[in-house]
Structure 1
Amino acid sequence: MERPTLKVKIRAKTGKSYANKIRKKGLIPAVLYGPHLKESIPLEIDKFDVHSLMSTISEGERIITLEIVNQDKDNKREVILKDVQHSWIKGGLQHLDFYEITRGEKISTEVPLRLVGEAPGVKKGGVIEQLVREIEIECLPENIPPHIDVDIKELDIGDSLRIKDLKLPSGVRTLTNPEEIVVSVLSPISEEELEKLEEEKGVVAEEVEVVKKERKEEKEEEEETKKKEE
């Protein structure tokens, strides 16, 4: 099957000011790197081409072909999109990282976790707490899953699932600590416990106010003493 293709150009310059300059022209700065590249390659891409690619590739499609239009030799590279940076202010794409792959060589990457099912503990009033939302895996590029399902249908109140409990696809292994807790079902907080917490917060707040008042009085006394000495 033919891979999705994205046309890119090698950037004339690097640096923040030049990156901002090309963004104003509707281009997105990017970089291509990999274990067999002597140095990273700065790129620029038409933002409409990027959005078009994102809207057409299917879920789980991780490998794409970069066609470097202003390079004569080795102008087609198989890559995975390693990182996407967005602008917190404008919300648009800011920068893309591409990682060149080699067929037959395993790579490490991060994939999201997806909770599946309804935990019995939740039906009893428990609360789901997801502590890990993505894990690092190692596999061949063509075996990278779009996500890994976390089955919570057996979790009761007080139960947890660890990394080692996850069912990984064939040919995929995790590099994350196997003992790390992924998800738990916590006990619901009773009215009595809630009131106790509120009371404790109130006591702490009162203590803080007392300390503030004492410091204020001490400061006023010091100022009064200084005035008398003068």
Structure 2
Amino acid sequence: MKTVEIIGFKRANLGKSEAKRLRADSQVPCVLYGGDEQIHFSAPMILFRELVYTDEAHFVHLNIEGKEFQAVLQDIQFHPVSEVILHVDFLQIFEGKKLKMDIPVHFEGTSPGVAKGGTLIKKRRHLRVLALPKDMPEHIVVDLGKLDFGRAVKVNEIEVSNFEILDSSIASVAVVEVPRALRGKTDEEEDGVGEEVEEAATPEGGDE
């Protein structure tokens, strides 16, 4: 997994007024948890672009006034209107200790159901993963190649390697909905197949 570096500065003062002042200076108030102590710091907002506005998961290398930490983004708060970053929580991580992360899902392949006119519904865009830092994936690939009408890709069908998906194993990740215009036609085709099978199974002279 790729690593993004964030350079921060310890906060001498806490509170809403100080946080507001930091944001006015294009700084993001942050907290680092998970170690021996909580560290309150701020970092330039521009450094979060590669970490936040991406479809890949990342580790974070924090450099807080020369002291270095390995971490992951734990929580982020945005302004409801401007979408400016208001606050960020980081979780310190350690080699040899498993951690949980929300990992983006990448959908690959062409769904036969979509090719026939169906609509792909993405039920989950992230999955909760448990793994050692060295085994944590940047994203999880979901193959749509066999996804036809009325079918769903479930969590237990996803290939995993040295990590565990914590979402329910029977949860749907993607489904293909049949368009309303095709629903009757699809039912008729299924009925037709059923009739053909029934006729083929009836022996000659069965009415005698």
TM-score range, shorter chain: 0.7 to 0.9
Q: Structure 1-normalised TM-score?
A: 0.70
- Are residue 180 (structure 1) and residue 171 (structure 2) matched? yes
Summarize deviations over 1:105-156 as a string: whole Å, max 9, x none: 1101111112111111112122211211211000111322221111011111
Matched to 2:105, the amino acid is L
How many residues align? The count is 181
Superposition RMSD on alpha carbons, in Å? 2.6
Distance, in Å, in 1 between the alignment partners of 2:74 and 2:102 is 9
User: Any residues of structure 2 matched to 1:93-104 within 5 Å, and which?
Assistant: 93-104=85-96
Compared CA separation, residues 3 and 157, structure 1 to 2 (3 A): closer
Q: Residue 44 of structure 2 corresponds to which residue in structure 1?
A: 46
Offset, 1:163 = 0.7
User: Any residues of structure 2 matched to 1:50-69 within 5 Å, and which?
Assistant: 50-51=48-49, 54=50, 62-69=58-65
Which structure shows the bigger proportion of residues in helix conformation?
1
Moved over 3 A (4+): 2-5, 48-51, 58-61
Matched to 1:97, the amino acid is D
Matched to 2:40, the amino acid is P
8 Å CA contact 1:8–1:66 kept in 2: the answer is yes
- Are residue 90 (structure 1) and residue 82 (structure 2) matched? yes
Is the radius of gyration larger for structure 1 or structure 2?
A: 1
Q: Residue 221 of structure 1 corresponds to which residue in structure 2?
A: none
Offset, 1:6 = 2.4
Distance, in Å, in 2 between the alignment partners of 1:121 and 1:26 is 47
- Are residue 37 (structure 1) and residue 29 (structure 2) matched? no
Residue segments in structure 2 that go unaligned for 5+ positions in a row: 185-208
Q: Residue 134 of structure 1 corresponds to which residue in structure 2?
A: 126
Distance, in Å, in 2 between the alignment partners of 1:114 and 1:141 is 20
Offset, 1:98 = 1.2
Compared CA separation, residues 48 and 115, structure 1 to 2 (3 A): closer
Residue segments in structure 1 that go unaligned for 5+ positions in a row: 194-230
8 Å CA contact 2:57–2:103 kept in 1: the answer is no
Distance, in Å, in 2 between the alignment partners of 1:172 and 1:10 is 35
Give me the identity figure in percent.
27
